[in-house]
Amino acid sequence: MITIAALWILLLLAGGGLALDRVLTSAITRNFDAQLEYVLRSMVASAEIGPDGEMRFSRALADQRFLEPNSGLYWQVTGKGFEAFPSRSLWDRRLAAGPAHTDSDAHAYDSREFPDEALRILERDIRLPDSPVLWRFQVAESRVGLDEQIAVLRRTLVRSFALLGLGLIVLAGLQTLYGLWPLNRIRQSIGEMRAGRANRVEASTMPNEVQPMVEELNALLEHNEKQAEEARRHAGNLAHALKTPLTVIMNAATAQAPDLADTVIREAATMRRQVDHHLARARAVGRRGHAHSRADVWPSLESVERAVGRLYDHVRFDMDGPRDLAVHVERQDLDEMLGNLIENAAKYGGGSVFVTIARAGDFVEMLVEDDGPGIPEEERQRIFDRGVRLDTGKPGTGLGLAIVRDVAEIYGGSVSLEESEDLGGLLARLRLPAAA
């Protein structure tokens, strides 16, 4: 960042310095030419034609340098058919006269016609009254003074811009170091957390520019801690759930019980149910971190209805609601929740299952109704506990509703059981966060 800032500053200062040099150099040169033009006008004003047609001045020019040989300030008047009329300062030298100009404006240019002296010449062609000759008036001055002024100007510009550039680069460096210094503090805080001496990055001491990042970092740490805690809790619950069946199997095997095979099969089924339940929770917890989780409700309903319909071909399924609703849930988890609810409705209902979906604020509600005997109100909360089954005459694990409740809560939703007003049986209300 400092290098890029330095290069950009140097580029801008170089461009600005060149532009300013051109402007100021042109201004000094114009001022120099203006002094020569003043002398040229004085020459034209005092010029007159003599008896023999020659050009002469009615009065001498005031600058004494015109009288001193090689003084650096010269004038000369040239006309066709006449000898050049020079100032005494030219001594034995003469200014070169080029082709005639077709306009009446003065022309300024640089000349190296004197090997030891660079000149700035201003000339103008004028036809004087009572003279058919086109006279060329020339004023020349050594460029030494002009070049010295330009050199002083350029030295001043280079020094000023160099000092300005150095100051700006130092300022950019200090600003960059000061602006990025909080990141070093964040790095140190993360090192403290890794060493176990802290568990969060202190946001109150950070500048406003980095506080949002610190808050997001702390939120990420909190999220990871929650996931780790949930993983530890799931592992403990699973270990506790498997401990009893394993103890039963071990005792039966040690005692060489005659019903060992039946005991192993029964307890293995129990362990499998527990493993399935905790795996479902673990998958949902892992997917919850994906902020872009999204599932369309209607295709999931159709998929579940086809699967359940093949198992219970005597059941009539009806579905109603908007077909463009989506929820912030992974498709596999949505299928599992809807599958458990619809399968329960088909298994324990009287042959009719009605599914309705609707938008309810920031949530999508999915209502699964059946025409079965329903569940008494006092049993509706207990039925969500793991392994609880009210009807033991039909196959099942007693974990379906528990899985639906746990997965829904992980995604920020909920599930509840009510009485169906239309079909008279049970109504399961599943609420999940709506996706745009």
Residues 55, 99: Cα–Cα separation, whole Å = 20
| 76: helix, strand or coil | strand
pTM: 0.51
Residues 190, 198: Cα–Cα separation, whole Å = 8
Residues 383, 389: Cα–Cα separation, whole Å = 7
For 295-433, which CATH superfamily applies? Histidine kinase-like ATPase, C-terminal domain (3.30.565.10)
Q: Which residues does 355 contact at the CB level (< 8 Å), separation at least 6?
A: 301, 305, 317, 318, 319, 320, 321, 342, 366, 367, 368, 369
CATH number for the 2-150 domain, one of 3.60.21, 3.30.450, 2.60.40, 3.90.550? 3.30.450
Please report which confidence band the pLDDT of residue 38 belongs to, taking 50, 70 and 90 as the band edges: very high
- 311 φ/ψ angles, rounded to the nearest 5 degrees: -80, -35
Q: Quick one: DSSP state of residue 66?
A: G
| 319: helix, strand or coil | strand
pLDDT value at 33 more than 90: yes
Say if CB 339 and CB 302 are below 8 A apart. Answer: no
Residues 216, 235: Cα–Cα separation, whole Å = 28
> In DSSP terms, which residues pair with 296 in a beta bridge?
326
Looking at residue 393, its pLDDT comes to 42
pLDDT value at 391 more than 60: no
| Cα end-to-end span (Å), the chain | 39
Residues 432, 359: Cα–Cα separation, whole Å = 10
Q: How many CA atoms lie within 13 A of 413 on its CB side?
A: 31
Looking at residue 366, its pLDDT comes to 94
Looking at residue 433, its pLDDT comes to 93
Q: What is the 3-state secondary structure (H, E, C) of 180-204?
A: HHHHHHHHHHHHHHHCCCCCCCCCC
Looking at residue 41, its pLDDT comes to 92
Residue 378 token pair: 């006092």
| 91: helix, strand or coil | coil
Residues 56-82 have pLDDT tens digits of: 888 888 889 999 999 999 999 998 888
Say if CB 418 and CB 429 are below 8 A apart. Answer: yes
Burial string for 67-84 (b: 16+ CB within 10 Å, else e) reads: eeeebebbbbbbbeeeee
Residues 156, 150: Cα–Cα separation, whole Å = 10
pLDDT value at 148 more than 90: yes
Q: Which residues does 149 contact at the CB level (< 8 Å), separation at least 6?
A: 28
- 159 φ/ψ angles, rounded to the nearest 5 degrees: -65, -45
Looking at residue 390, its pLDDT comes to 44
Nearest to 263 by CA among 274, 242, 244, 248: 248
Say if CB 70 and CB 89 are below 8 A apart. Answer: yes
Residues 112-135 have pLDDT tens digits of: 999 899 999 999 999 888 888 889
Looking at residue 286, its pLDDT comes to 60
Nearest to 369 by CA among 306, 405, 315, 331: 315
